[in-house]
Amino acid sequence: MSGGDSREGGGRVADGGPRSGSDEEGRMRITVRFGSDAPSAYDVLVGAGIVEELPTLLSGLLEVDRIAVISDSTVGPLHGERVAAGLRAARLRTDLFTFPAGEEQKTREWWSRLTDALLAEGFGRDGAVVAVGGGVVGDMAGFVAATYMRGIPVVQVPTSLVAMIDSAVGGKTGVDHPQGKNLIGAFHPPRLVLIDPVLIGTLPRPERSQGLAEALKHGAIRDREYLFALDSEADALLSGEVVAIERAVRRSVRIKADVVSRDERESGLRQILNFGHTLGHALEAATDYRLPHGSAVAVGMVLEARLGERLGITEAGAAELISTSLQRLELPTEMPVRVPPERVTHFLGADKKVRGGRPGFVLLGRLGEVHPGEGWVHRVAEKDVALLLSEAL
């Protein structure tokens, strides 16, 4: 952990409805609305090299005395230290806090250690958090910000493809529990999301592949042509070509921002973003998080599309088309490790979408469209889920 000097800046938060555009340098700016009674908003900025502008952007956005950069043991040395140094150079008093990398570290224990560390360093309600890392860091740092002193601002600087494409936008924060994933958390919208596709260059190819599972999900639920575009650009995306990555990030962010602006707290439309995740999260938990998130969601999408086809809800052939695209993106379409079906069923029972003891599934009508069901979720008979799992596992 380290610190530096600080100075304050004027406050501004974007307002208005969800909208997007590009500035004179070609960077995308999209405004995400939240709050049904008195709508507020935050900007998502996407552009190569934009992370270097973070000190200037924060000075014009937040009125804070100190900044806590929160990262993990992998991303901290790669990007966290550089971000913290840039903020200090701009005379913003900054400390860097890290925790061990990995989904298995997204726990109440590490949330407690991080909040204890902020208290020990004297952070008050005039502090802010900058999350620098992938989805785990964004969830953890966001939850620290949501709960520290009853809530302080957070800025998301995603460094993984899955975080850029999906998890950094929307305001979900939280930690895992032995009973399941993300069972403890809060909705805490960021004040800014800064997405720099250049950062993807430090990721190994398998990590880029993992992030593309969420991109494919966006295509499957909202934009059929986007799904096919991901398939055709698979080589460029997996190689980390900045132009291809930025194109996919922009398209995914627009889809995610549109959905969460319409439903901030997952009471309706936002549930469509859970396609592949009901089973995916259960598969992750059943393997004690040895199965990466992207792989779990990939298998979950195939299985949930297959389930929809069997129930006569999803168009025939959707599962096969999703499988083909996943294979092009070097993602699994069936479980790479053995898991007892009853163990997966146990974690399905702890899913946040369970109502009356029955988990809810997001099912496609056809590629690019979700079948509305009851509030965008279908309650499926236990016997149908059990048969699906027994065949797949």
CATH of the domain at 30: 3.40.50.1970
Residue 217 appears among annotated catalytic residues: no
Total domains present in the chain: 2
Mean pLDDT of 90-109: 96
Q: Is residue 260 part of a domain?
A: no
Which of 208, 222, 254, 270 does the annotation list as catalytic?
270
Q: Rounded to 5 degrees, what angle do the CA atoms 39, 41, 43 make?
A: 165
91 counts as catalytic: no
29 pLDDT more than 60: yes
Quickly count: other Cβ atoms within 10 Å of residue 297's Cβ: 30
Annotated catalytic, 352?
Answer: no
Please, which residues bridge with residue 370 across strands? Answer: 364
Q: Are residues 182 and 227 in the same domain?
A: no
Angle 181-186-192 (CA atoms, 0-180°, nearest 5)? 110
Which residues span the domain enclosing 103? 19-201
Flag whether pLDDT at 38 surpasses 90. no
What's the pLDDT band for 20 if we cut at 50, 70, 90? low
**What residues are paired with 43 via a beta bridge?**
31, 192
Q: Is 281 labeled as catalytic in the residue annotation?
A: yes
Is the same domain home to 33 and 178? yes
pLDDT band with cut points at 50, 70 and 90 for residue 10: very low
Q: Kindly give, in sequence order, each residue whose CB lies less than 8 Å from that of residue 51, ignoring residues fewer than 6 positions away.
A: 79, 83, 157, 194, 196, 198, 199
- Look at residue 179 in the predicted model and tell me its pLDDT: 87
What are phi and psi for residue 376, nearest 5 degrees?
75, 10
- Within 10 angstroms of residue 6's Cβ, the number of other Cβ atoms is 19
Given the residues 208, 256, 353, 378, select the one marked as catalytic: 256
Does residue 359 share a domain with residue 325?
A: yes
- Across the range 315-337, mean pLDDT stands at 96
**Set 79, 88, 172, 328: catalytic member:** 172
Catalytic (active site) residue 93? no
- pLDDT, tens digit (0-9, with 9 covering 90-100), for 264-292: 676 689 899 999 999 999 999 999 999 99
* 378 in catalytic set: no
Q: Mark whether 283 and 182 lie in a shared domain.
A: no
- For the entire predicted model, the pTM comes to 0.85
Is residue 102, in this structure, part of any structural domain at all? Answer: yes
Q: Is 218 tagged catalytic?
A: no
Q: Tell me how many degrees the CA angle 23-227-304 measures, rounded to the nearest 5.
A: 130
pLDDT: which is higher, 320 or 64: 320
Catalytic residue among 274, 304, 358, 378: 274
Question: Which residue in the list 33, 79, 293, 328 is annotated as catalytic?
Answer: 293
Q: Among this protein's residues, is 256 annotated catalytic?
A: yes
353 in active site: no
Q: Does 265 qualify as catalytic in the annotation? A: no
In whole angstroms, give the CA distance from residue 389 to residue 98: 38
Q: Confirm if 178 and 104 have CB atoms less than 8 A apart.
A: no
